[in-house]
Structure 1
């Protein structure tokens, strides 16, 4: 059985699935950062949810960039760090817009989500994840 599993993991689809899994793990960490910043800004600093989403996105994007660069797409792309970070944030902006739209849409319409902003942040993260993976793999970390 090990030989079959090894062959599957060595295939192009298997490598892509492993990479997507790593991206997902990093995404969960990004979700935790995103949520922590939202909660700190909404419940600690008194910002509106809508305003808190922007700095939370930037904090999460910076965290996931660093982790994806070191873990998911290690050794891919040869741009300088600052340029690669800027490309990552720009490439993931489309997923970020989807993330923001879903989270704000849910938070503004559902009382349960208003009481528990984590639900909006999580739903937005999942909604943007597939776009962000494709953008990261093909535009930022080429050759990974």
Structure 2
């Protein structure tokens, strides 16, 4: 598959993941969780969602790994981008006033900042093709 098609599909997976991330975060905040533990939960939900999309439509599942091995490899690979994401998210949450769109703005800023790291990790660490 051409790189630009993979990138486009990865971005679509990211948009889907962003929607899940923001939705779960709003729910967690409504249930009384704080900004940081709520985000940890929403991040895991978003990673699971993007993994499902990416393995079906972007990169194709690994033929050498079981589904659970692939999931754990994907989650592990996303943790580097997740660290970048969480730092930017935290800066935005701390720096901006508490406004109704703050969950969306902070999650989007973090997600955008980590997108390149996550694409490289997914393509070359999780779904790499053996030649």
Q: Distance in 1 between matches of 2:78 and 2:24?
A: 19
Structure 1 pair 139–77 and aligned structure 2 pair: CA distance change class (3 A): farther
How many angstroms apart in 1 are the aligned matches of 2:63 and 2:14? 20
Runs of 4+ with >4 A deviation: none
1:46 counterpart = 2:32: yes
CA distance in 2, matches of 1:77, 1:109: 45
Asked if structure 2 preserves the Cα contact closer than 8 Å seen for 1:23 and 1:72, the reply is: yes
For residues 76-116 of structure 1, give each alpha carbon's deviation from its aligned partner in whole angstroms, at most 9, with x where no partner exists. Answer: 442100000000000110000111110111011111xx312
Structure 1 residues 85 and 75, CA gap change in structure 2 (3 angstroms): closer
- Map 1:92-103 → 2, pairs under 5 A: 92-103=78-89
How big is each residue's C-alpha offset from its partner over 1:98-135, in whole Å with a ceiling of 9 and x where there is no partner? 11110111011111xx3121000001000111000000
Aligned equivalents of 2:63, 2:121: Cα separation in 1 = 13
| Change in 2 beyond 3 A, CA 1:75/1:94 | closer
Are 2:14 and 1:21 aligned? Answer: no
Distance 1:77 1:140 in 2: 11
Higher helix fraction (1 or 2): 1
How many Å separate the matches in 1 of 2:32 and 2:117?
Answer: 31
Partner of 1:138: 124
CA–CA separation in structure 2 for the residues paired with 1:118 and 1:75: 30
Q: Report the TM-score when normalising by structure 2.
A: 0.93
Task: Give distance in 2, aligned partners of 1:77 and 1:87.
Answer: 14
Structure 2: tracts of 5 or more residues without a match: none
**Alignment length, in residue pairs?**
128
Greater gyration radius: 1
Pair 1:37-2:24 in alignment: yes
